[in-house]
Amino acid sequence: METLNVAAAILIYENKILCAQRAGGKQEYISYKYEFPGGKAETGETWEKALQRELMEEMELAVDIGHMKLFYDAKHEYPDFKVRIRFFICPVESKQLHSKEHTAIRWVEKQELDKLDWMEANWPVIEKLKRTELKAYLPQDSGYPAGQRIDKA
C-alpha cells in the first residue's frame, strides 16, 4: 500500500483556526470531511515548499516558510492508502480566503474543533491543539504577518 507524504497548514487568524471541508469523491469515508488545507509533496520537494505551493494553488495564499512552525507529525492508515502528514502552524493576516478545492471553509475557536466531522488522521492534531497555547507558535515580532492572499491584477 502506497504512503502519501502530505503537508497541512493550521492557518490561524485572531486565535481562530481554518477548517476546510473536502468535496465529495470516490472514497466515501473521506468525502465531505473536514481537514486542514494542504496537499501531497512532490518528489524532491521539502515539506515546507510543498505546503507553500499547495496553499498558493488551493487558496491563492502566500505563506512565508520562515513563519511556518512544525506542530505535529502523523501517520495514519485508511482502507486503501497510508498517509504521513506534517502539520504546520501558519499565521495569516486576513480570514478572507478563496478556496478552490473545498466545499466550505470555517474559522473556529480551538475548543470548538471537535464539533466538526474530521478526517481520521486529523484527530490527534485536534486534541493537541485544544491543549496548546498557540501564541508559542506565532511570530514574536508582530501579530499575524505570515500569510497573504495574492490578488490577481
Q: Is 153 exposed, middle or buried (0-12, 13-18, 19+ CB in 10 A)?
A: exposed
Q: Which domains does the chain have, with CATH numbers?
A: 3-142 (3.90.79.10)
Q: Return d(Cα 34, Cα 30) in angstroms, integer.
A: 9
Give me the pLDDT at residue 28, please.
Answer: 83
pLDDT of residue 148 exceeding 50, the answer is no
Label residue 141 by pLDDT band (50, 70, 90): low
Give me the pLDDT at residue 138, please.
Answer: 77
> Could you read off the pLDDT of 36-73 as tens digits, one per residue?
999 999 999 999 999 999 999 999 999 888 889 999 99
Is 64:150 a contact under the CB 8 Å cutoff? no
